Amino acid sequence: MTLYIETPLIESAAMSGAPGQSVWLKMEALQPTGSFKNRGIGFACEEYARRGARRFVAASGGNAGIAAAYAARRLGVPMLVVVPETTSARALELLRRERAEVIVHGASFQEAHAMATSLLGETDAFIHPFDDPLLWEGHASMIDEVARAGVKPDAVVLSVGGGGLLCGVVAGLRRNGWPRVPVIAVETEGADSLAQSIAAGERIVLPRIASIATSLGARQVAQQAFALSSEHPLRSVVVADSAAVDACIRFMDDHRVVVEPACGATLAVAYDASTAMKEFRNVLVIVCGGVTATVAQLRQWADRT
Ligand SMILES: *Cc1c(COP(=O)(O)O)cnc(C)c1O
Protein backbone atom coordinates (compact mmCIF):
# COMPACT_ATOMS: atom_id res chain seq x y z
CA MET A 1 0.00 0.00 0.00
CA THR A 2 1.27 3.47 -0.73
CA LEU A 3 -0.23 6.45 0.99
CA TYR A 4 1.32 8.94 -1.43
CA ILE A 5 1.84 9.00 -5.17
CA GLU A 6 4.86 9.53 -7.39
CA THR A 7 4.35 13.11 -8.57
CA PRO A 8 5.14 14.63 -11.97
CA LEU A 9 8.42 16.47 -12.49
CA ILE A 10 7.66 19.24 -14.98
CA GLU A 11 10.03 21.70 -16.61
CA SER A 12 8.55 25.17 -16.29
CA ALA A 13 9.01 27.37 -19.32
CA ALA A 14 7.31 30.17 -17.39
CA MET A 15 9.99 30.17 -14.68
CA SER A 16 13.16 29.35 -16.56
CA GLY A 17 14.75 32.78 -16.43
CA ALA A 18 18.37 32.94 -17.46
CA PRO A 19 19.36 31.45 -20.83
CA GLY A 20 20.33 27.81 -20.44
CA GLN A 21 18.56 27.55 -17.10
CA SER A 22 16.02 24.80 -16.44
CA VAL A 23 13.50 25.06 -13.64
CA TRP A 24 11.97 21.74 -12.59
CA LEU A 25 8.74 21.60 -10.63
CA LYS A 26 8.18 18.66 -8.28
CA MET A 27 4.38 18.74 -8.20
CA GLU A 28 3.60 17.79 -4.62
CA ALA A 29 0.36 19.77 -4.90
CA LEU A 30 -0.98 16.71 -6.76
CA GLN A 31 -0.66 14.36 -3.77
CA PRO A 32 -3.96 12.81 -2.58
CA THR A 33 -4.61 15.52 0.02
CA GLY A 34 -2.84 18.26 -1.88
CA SER A 35 0.56 18.56 -0.21
CA PHE A 36 3.90 16.77 0.26
CA LYS A 37 2.74 15.87 3.79
CA ASN A 38 1.20 12.67 2.41
CA ARG A 39 4.73 11.33 2.00
CA GLY A 40 6.17 11.73 5.48
CA ILE A 41 2.93 11.44 7.39
CA GLY A 42 1.85 8.43 5.33
CA PHE A 43 5.21 6.79 5.98
CA ALA A 44 5.09 7.56 9.72
CA CYS A 45 1.48 6.37 10.10
CA GLU A 46 2.24 3.09 8.36
CA GLU A 47 5.20 2.55 10.66
CA TYR A 48 3.22 3.41 13.82
CA ALA A 49 0.42 1.06 12.74
CA ARG A 50 2.98 -1.69 12.17
CA ARG A 51 4.31 -1.09 15.69
CA GLY A 52 0.81 -1.61 17.04
CA ALA A 53 -0.75 1.88 17.30
CA ARG A 54 -4.53 1.57 17.68
CA ARG A 55 -5.31 5.25 17.13
CA PHE A 56 -3.56 8.29 15.69
CA VAL A 57 -3.77 11.69 17.38
CA ALA A 58 -2.78 14.99 15.78
CA ALA A 59 -3.15 18.67 16.59
CA SER A 60 -3.37 20.42 13.24
CA GLY A 61 -6.17 22.09 11.36
CA GLY A 62 -3.98 22.25 8.29
CA ASN A 63 -2.35 19.98 5.75
CA ALA A 64 -0.67 17.81 8.40
CA GLY A 65 -3.96 16.93 10.07
CA ILE A 66 -5.65 16.30 6.74
CA ALA A 67 -2.78 14.07 5.55
CA ALA A 68 -2.87 12.13 8.84
CA ALA A 69 -6.64 11.66 8.55
CA TYR A 70 -6.21 10.38 5.01
CA ALA A 71 -3.51 7.90 6.11
CA ALA A 72 -5.64 6.75 9.04
CA ARG A 73 -8.68 6.14 6.83
CA ARG A 74 -6.62 4.18 4.30
CA LEU A 75 -5.00 2.11 7.07
CA GLY A 76 -8.31 1.56 8.89
CA VAL A 77 -7.00 3.19 12.08
CA PRO A 78 -9.18 5.67 14.04
CA MET A 79 -8.01 9.28 13.92
CA LEU A 80 -8.48 12.08 16.44
CA VAL A 81 -7.57 15.62 15.38
CA VAL A 82 -7.65 18.48 17.88
CA VAL A 83 -7.80 21.89 16.19
CA PRO A 84 -7.91 25.44 17.55
CA GLU A 85 -10.99 27.65 17.24
CA THR A 86 -9.28 29.62 14.47
CA THR A 87 -9.56 26.63 12.10
CA SER A 88 -11.49 27.49 8.95
CA ALA A 89 -14.80 25.85 8.04
CA ARG A 90 -13.10 24.55 4.93
CA ALA A 91 -10.35 22.76 6.90
CA LEU A 92 -12.96 21.22 9.23
CA GLU A 93 -14.91 19.98 6.22
CA LEU A 94 -11.76 18.43 4.70
CA LEU A 95 -10.98 16.65 7.99
CA ARG A 96 -14.51 15.31 8.26
CA ARG A 97 -14.40 14.11 4.68
CA GLU A 98 -11.50 11.90 5.73
CA ARG A 99 -13.71 10.56 8.57
CA ALA A 100 -11.54 11.97 11.37
CA GLU A 101 -12.98 12.65 14.79
CA VAL A 102 -12.47 16.38 15.32
CA ILE A 103 -12.30 18.27 18.62
CA VAL A 104 -12.22 22.06 18.42
CA HIS A 105 -10.35 23.43 21.42
CA GLY A 106 -8.43 26.55 22.40
CA ALA A 107 -7.54 29.91 20.93
CA SER A 108 -4.32 28.79 19.27
CA PHE A 109 -2.25 25.81 18.19
CA GLN A 110 -0.57 25.69 21.63
CA GLU A 111 -3.83 24.95 23.45
CA ALA A 112 -4.97 22.42 20.83
CA HIS A 113 -1.60 20.70 21.06
CA ALA A 114 -1.75 20.56 24.87
CA MET A 115 -5.26 19.09 24.71
CA ALA A 116 -4.20 16.49 22.12
CA THR A 117 -1.22 15.31 24.18
CA SER A 118 -3.37 15.14 27.33
CA LEU A 119 -5.71 12.74 25.49
CA LEU A 120 -2.91 10.43 24.36
CA GLY A 121 -3.43 6.87 25.52
CA GLU A 122 -0.87 4.09 25.68
CA THR A 123 -1.77 2.57 22.34
CA ASP A 124 -2.09 5.94 20.54
CA ALA A 125 0.56 7.39 18.24
CA PHE A 126 1.00 11.15 18.15
CA ILE A 127 1.54 12.40 14.60
CA HIS A 128 3.74 15.50 14.71
CA PRO A 129 3.42 17.93 11.77
CA PHE A 130 7.18 18.32 11.20
CA ASP A 131 9.47 17.13 14.01
CA ASP A 132 9.80 13.37 13.57
CA PRO A 133 12.63 11.48 11.78
CA LEU A 134 10.04 9.09 10.29
CA LEU A 135 8.41 12.06 8.54
CA TRP A 136 11.73 13.17 7.09
CA GLU A 137 12.45 9.67 5.80
CA GLY A 138 9.08 9.69 4.04
CA HIS A 139 9.53 13.18 2.59
CA ALA A 140 12.94 12.10 1.23
CA SER A 141 11.17 9.87 -1.32
CA MET A 142 10.50 12.96 -3.48
CA ILE A 143 14.25 13.30 -4.09
CA ASP A 144 14.53 9.57 -4.92
CA GLU A 145 11.97 10.19 -7.67
CA VAL A 146 13.90 13.16 -9.04
CA ALA A 147 17.06 11.05 -9.16
CA ARG A 148 15.21 8.21 -10.91
CA ALA A 149 13.93 10.70 -13.49
CA GLY A 150 17.56 11.47 -14.34
CA VAL A 151 17.51 15.10 -13.23
CA LYS A 152 20.40 16.29 -11.06
CA PRO A 153 19.52 19.62 -9.47
CA ASP A 154 22.24 22.09 -8.59
CA ALA A 155 19.91 23.91 -6.20
CA VAL A 156 16.60 23.11 -4.50
CA VAL A 157 14.06 25.79 -3.57
CA LEU A 158 11.58 24.92 -0.83
CA SER A 159 9.38 26.48 1.86
CA VAL A 160 10.13 26.20 5.57
CA GLY A 161 7.54 26.08 8.33
CA GLY A 162 8.83 23.86 11.14
CA GLY A 163 11.48 22.49 8.80
CA GLY A 164 10.24 18.93 8.23
CA LEU A 165 10.30 19.37 4.47
CA LEU A 166 13.82 20.82 4.70
CA CYS A 167 15.04 17.87 6.81
CA GLY A 168 13.42 15.40 4.41
CA VAL A 169 14.82 16.98 1.26
CA VAL A 170 18.34 17.11 2.72
CA ALA A 171 17.99 13.43 3.79
CA GLY A 172 16.95 12.65 0.21
CA LEU A 173 19.87 14.59 -1.27
CA ARG A 174 22.28 12.73 1.02
CA ARG A 175 20.92 9.27 0.29
CA ASN A 176 21.14 9.93 -3.45
CA GLY A 177 24.79 10.98 -3.28
CA TRP A 178 24.18 14.75 -3.53
CA PRO A 179 25.19 15.98 -0.06
CA ARG A 180 26.49 19.35 -1.27
CA VAL A 181 23.52 20.51 -3.38
CA PRO A 182 22.47 23.85 -1.87
CA VAL A 183 18.98 24.47 -0.56
CA ILE A 184 17.24 27.83 -0.80
CA ALA A 185 14.94 27.89 2.26
CA VAL A 186 12.04 30.31 1.89
CA GLU A 187 9.77 31.76 4.59
CA THR A 188 7.32 34.65 4.73
CA GLU A 189 7.77 37.75 6.89
CA GLY A 190 6.11 37.07 10.23
CA ALA A 191 6.65 33.30 9.95
CA ASP A 192 10.44 33.50 9.56
CA SER A 193 11.47 31.37 12.52
CA LEU A 194 14.42 29.80 10.64
CA ALA A 195 15.78 33.08 9.24
CA GLN A 196 15.60 34.72 12.66
CA SER A 197 17.26 31.70 14.31
CA ILE A 198 20.12 31.84 11.81
CA ALA A 199 20.52 35.58 12.44
CA ALA A 200 20.50 35.07 16.22
CA GLY A 201 22.82 32.05 16.13
CA GLU A 202 20.32 30.09 18.21
CA ARG A 203 16.89 28.53 17.82
CA ILE A 204 14.53 31.38 18.68
CA VAL A 205 10.78 31.25 19.39
CA LEU A 206 8.65 33.78 17.52
CA PRO A 207 6.28 35.57 19.91
CA ARG A 208 3.47 35.11 17.40
CA ILE A 209 2.82 34.27 13.77
CA ALA A 210 2.10 37.34 11.64
CA SER A 211 1.72 35.95 8.11
CA ILE A 212 -1.18 34.69 6.03
CA ALA A 213 0.97 31.66 5.16
CA THR A 214 -0.43 29.70 8.11
CA SER A 215 1.17 26.44 6.98
CA LEU A 216 4.56 28.08 7.62
CA GLY A 217 3.41 29.17 11.07
CA ALA A 218 5.72 27.22 13.37
CA ARG A 219 6.94 29.54 16.13
CA GLN A 220 10.08 27.43 16.48
CA VAL A 221 11.75 25.20 13.89
CA ALA A 222 12.84 21.64 14.62
CA GLN A 223 16.31 21.33 16.17
CA GLN A 224 17.43 19.25 13.17
CA ALA A 225 16.31 21.97 10.74
CA PHE A 226 18.32 24.57 12.64
CA ALA A 227 21.34 22.24 12.73
CA LEU A 228 21.14 21.82 8.96
CA SER A 229 21.47 25.58 8.48
CA SER A 230 25.13 25.20 9.47
CA GLU A 231 25.78 21.58 8.35
CA HIS A 232 24.35 21.88 4.84
CA PRO A 233 24.82 24.59 2.19
CA LEU A 234 21.69 26.63 2.83
CA ARG A 235 20.50 30.08 1.88
CA SER A 236 17.65 31.57 3.83
CA VAL A 237 15.26 33.91 1.99
CA VAL A 238 12.26 35.79 3.41
CA VAL A 239 9.50 37.14 1.14
CA ALA A 240 6.48 39.36 1.81
CA ASP A 241 2.99 37.81 2.03
CA SER A 242 2.00 39.88 -1.00
CA ALA A 243 4.78 38.34 -3.10
CA ALA A 244 3.69 34.84 -2.02
CA VAL A 245 0.05 35.49 -2.95
CA ASP A 246 0.95 37.09 -6.29
CA ALA A 247 3.07 34.04 -7.12
CA CYS A 248 0.12 31.72 -6.33
CA ILE A 249 -2.07 33.60 -8.78
CA ARG A 250 0.58 33.67 -11.45
CA PHE A 251 1.18 29.94 -10.94
CA MET A 252 -2.55 29.25 -11.42
CA ASP A 253 -2.39 30.88 -14.84
CA ASP A 254 0.91 29.26 -15.83
CA HIS A 255 0.40 25.74 -14.49
CA ARG A 256 -3.33 25.55 -13.70
CA VAL A 257 -2.84 24.42 -10.11
CA VAL A 258 -4.04 26.14 -6.91
CA VAL A 259 -1.61 26.27 -3.96
CA GLU A 260 -1.43 28.04 -0.60
CA PRO A 261 0.71 31.13 0.10
CA ALA A 262 2.98 28.76 2.07
CA CYS A 263 3.91 27.32 -1.32
CA GLY A 264 3.66 30.69 -3.06
CA ALA A 265 6.65 31.84 -0.99
CA THR A 266 8.82 29.33 -2.83
CA LEU A 267 7.18 30.17 -6.16
CA ALA A 268 7.89 33.88 -5.61
CA VAL A 269 11.61 33.10 -5.39
CA ALA A 270 11.40 30.77 -8.40
CA TYR A 271 9.68 33.44 -10.50
CA ASP A 272 12.21 36.08 -9.56
CA ALA A 273 15.05 34.83 -11.75
CA SER A 274 17.17 37.85 -10.87
CA THR A 275 17.78 36.79 -7.29
CA ALA A 276 18.77 33.70 -5.39
CA MET A 277 18.45 31.35 -8.34
CA LYS A 278 20.31 33.17 -11.06
CA GLU A 279 23.63 31.29 -10.83
CA PHE A 280 22.09 27.80 -11.05
CA ARG A 281 21.43 25.87 -14.26
CA ASN A 282 19.15 23.11 -12.98
CA VAL A 283 16.84 24.36 -10.28
CA LEU A 284 14.46 22.01 -8.50
CA VAL A 285 11.40 23.75 -7.08
CA ILE A 286 9.36 21.82 -4.51
CA VAL A 287 5.75 22.79 -5.22
CA CYS A 288 4.65 21.81 -1.73
CA GLY A 289 0.95 22.56 -2.41
CA GLY A 290 -1.62 23.08 0.35
CA VAL A 291 -5.40 22.81 0.36
CA THR A 292 -6.53 25.33 2.95
CA ALA A 293 -6.67 28.34 0.60
CA THR A 294 -9.36 28.72 -2.06
CA VAL A 295 -9.19 30.75 -5.27
CA ALA A 296 -11.62 33.29 -3.77
CA GLN A 297 -9.41 33.66 -0.71
CA LEU A 298 -6.26 34.11 -2.80
CA ARG A 299 -8.03 36.84 -4.77
CA GLN A 300 -9.13 38.55 -1.57
CA TRP A 301 -5.59 38.52 -0.20
CA ALA A 302 -4.23 39.81 -3.51
CA ASP A 303 -6.64 42.77 -3.37
CA ARG A 304 -5.72 43.53 0.23
CA THR A 305 -1.93 43.12 0.29
C1 LIG B 1 3.57 21.82 6.10
C2 LIG B 1 3.69 22.69 4.95
C3 LIG B 1 4.82 23.51 4.74
C4 LIG B 1 5.95 23.60 5.74
O5 LIG B 1 6.55 22.38 5.97
P6 LIG B 1 7.46 22.15 7.25
O7 LIG B 1 7.80 20.72 7.18
O8 LIG B 1 6.65 22.49 8.45
O9 LIG B 1 8.63 23.05 7.11
C10 LIG B 1 4.87 24.27 3.60
N11 LIG B 1 3.87 24.24 2.70
C12 LIG B 1 2.78 23.48 2.85
C13 LIG B 1 1.73 23.51 1.81
C14 LIG B 1 2.66 22.67 3.97
O15 LIG B 1 1.57 21.91 4.13
Name every residue whose Cβ is closer than 8 Å to that of residue 112 and which is 6 or more positions away in sequence: 59, 61, 82, 83, 84, 105, 106
- Ordered structural domains, the chain, with CATH: 9-37+134-304 (3.40.50.1100), 38-130 (3.40.50.1100)
Share of the chain above pLDDT 70, in %: 99
Measured between alpha carbons, how far is 57 from 117 in angstroms, rounded to an integer?
8
Each residue of 88-114: pLDDT tens digit? Answer: 899 999 999 999 999 999 988 889 999
Residue 162 near ligand 1, beta carbon < 6 Å = yes
Quick check: helix, strand or coil at residue 192? Answer: coil
Give the mean model confidence (pLDDT) for residues 45-61: 96
Nearest residue (CA) to ligand 1, atom 4: 161
CA of 109 to the centre of ligand 1 (A): 15
Helical (H) or strand (E) element with 185: strand 183-188
Distance CA 86, CA 107 (A): 7
What pLDDT, in 10s, does the model give residues 125-175? 999 999 999 999 999 999 999 999 999 999 999 999 999 999 999 999 999
pLDDT digits (tens, 9 = 90+) for 190-237: 999 999 999 999 999 999 999 999 999 999 999 999 999 999 999 999
Kindly state the average pLDDT of the residues 170-187.
98
Cα-to-centroid distance, 222 and ligand 1 (Å): 12
Average the pLDDT over 244-263 and give the result. Answer: 98
Rounded to whole angstroms, the Cα distance separating 36 from 83 reads: 20
Q: How far is the CA of 218 from the centre of ligand 1 (A)?
A: 9
